[in-house]
Amino acid sequence: MDWIQHYDVKIKMRDGVELACDIRMPAQGGPFPAVLLRTPYNKNVHPESNRMDNITQYLDNGYAMVIMDVRGKYESDGIFPVLSFRQEGEDSADTIKWLAEQPWCNGKVAMTGASYCGYVQIYAALEHPEALCAISPGVFGNDGFRNIIRRDGIPQMSLLIWALHNATGRVAKILLFDWQKLLFSMPLRNLVNTCGLRRKLFDHWMKHNRNNRLWEEMGRIERMQELDVPVFLSGGWYDLYSSAVVETFCFLQSLPHMHNKVTLMMGPWLHGLGAREAGVMDFGPAADVDITEENRHWLDCWCREGRREAFPTVRYFVMGINEWREADKWPPVPIEEEFLLLACNHSANSLEGDGRLADMHGETPRDTYVYDPADPVLNLGGNLLAFGDGMAAGPCDQRPMEKRKDMLVYTGEVLAESLEVVGRPEVELYISSDAPDTDFVVRLCDVYPDGRSINICTGIIRTRYREGFDREIMMIPGEIYKLRIPLDITAVCFLPGHCLRLEITSSCFPQFGRNHNTGGDNWSEADYRKATQIIYHSAEYPSRLLLPVSVAIPASDHF
């Protein structure tokens, strides 16, 4: 097919700043509906890249494709707002209005894209541009403090590295460092100082330790009640925004005016959607999905005469059996909360201990370990942005870390039948510490018959936030506290012959910034101390794993 292409077209925003875009459209026919992708990652596309394949798919199906550098990036003028989405919303609305007025456009504009490009769509829709008919955002968060820069107040290191690469200038930085060495230096502020980049932005993020007005610049899910455009949400079980995407779906689906206008697709994917392989796992041919095609089919429903009934409200992939399921809501099936108690007779420290998940308490009422911030437990994969071998993402074998004495390991009985978990597992812990503030990390794993311990989902809590993210309350050394820790959302079937395993420790580095155990800011302070941690599990203090278990498994439905 022949195309018409216009490069570096400048569109003037309401404040006079000009933003650059490339416009491509079929050479015959028209006018066309336009699909807009606004990106901080460079609108220029290599002709042999996957991005060009995505563009041509839209062109071959009768769309005009518009890719724009957001404000302050690459060939667009202005200053990059860096996760301040009010500006992105206004710029998107101005762009959509301009596109709808062009003679080659039929007045209908849709948006697509993932990650930052997903955020942009949400805030574009909140400006209510008349020509915007549908959006298809993937893998994005909805709260700066809870799931973007931080997770429940704790810095997400892969997001800080993303910001070092992308948020500190007009073009992406190539930072040549030994990341493992740099990340281990204290204080964490050294990360920015050593890179030679401006420190003010990161100080701004890291010194605001409460979920206050600053973080509203990155949005609040409550704002989305104003959203009224059709939305196709997509995410991955091993993406750092997995829980946020499902939370956004549930919130939008609860709005009466969004009835039949929001859909969700969750696969066994990392931050990049659609691949059958993640980490050390191959989830089979069913997981190999063309996410661009899925997005386009959704946009067809609203920009053309597509069949909306072809889109189930929820499509989710059940790992373990590696099958797709369809539903009309989330949670998708009847769920019962089941629990397993933490127990041991001697000690649960490392794989050499006798920690177990059971329906009765053991002889020992507590387990103890020492957390040393200078020697943190390393995350092996997980829900994060991947940056080289030192920050791999996805499912990985956890046994190398389970050998450590500062990790408690509780393993369940060998399963005689399948156990399907759909939703967010939680852990209730009764703890004490000799530190005023510290972290507790919990991880649910699937133990295979050959011994592999594959991470399913992870949870973390910083104890200063145990009573809310708008306050910081230190602990009294030796006092016992009850913590409730939600893990990442998931859908997994533990198969017969497998075991469930729960890990408990106090660091997950470099996925999350370390707690120095001092009650300080953990950003600019170099001081740290060891912390002695006690996990209680007895009739008086029944620490336990809570599982959302499917009680009515529908028939298999291959996608």
Q: Which active-site residues does the annotation give?
A: 115, 239, 271
Q: For the chain, report the end-to-end CA distance as a whole number of angstroms.
A: 30
Cα–Cα distance, 531 to 435 (Å, whole number)? 6
Beta bridge partners, 114, equal 138
Q: Strand pairing of 335-343 and 18-26?
A: unpaired
**Are 66 and 34 a contacting pair, CB within 8 Å?**
yes
Residue 165, burial from CB neighbour count under 10 angstroms (0-12, 13-18, 19+): middle
Backbone angles phi, psi at 315, to 5 degrees: -125, 125
DSSP string for residues in 73-106: STT--S---SS-HHHHHHHHHHHHHHHHTSTTEE
3-state secondary structure of 199: coil
Q: Would you state the structure tokens that stand for residue 45, as one six-digit string?
A: 């596309």
Contacts of 410 (CB under 8 A, 6+ apart): 342, 343, 344, 348, 355, 356, 357, 501, 502, 503, 504, 545
Cα–Cα distance, 373 to 184 (Å, whole number)? 10
279, amino acid identity: G
Q: How far is CA 490 from the centre of its chain?
A: 12
Residue showing tokens 């498994």: 553
3-state secondary structure of 198: coil
Beta bridge partners, 486, equal 426
**Are 143 and 240 a contacting pair, CB within 8 Å?**
no
**Are 64 and 24 a contacting pair, CB within 8 Å?**
yes
Sign of the Cα torsion 180, 182, 185, 188 reads negative
**Are 155 and 513 a contacting pair, CB within 8 Å?**
yes
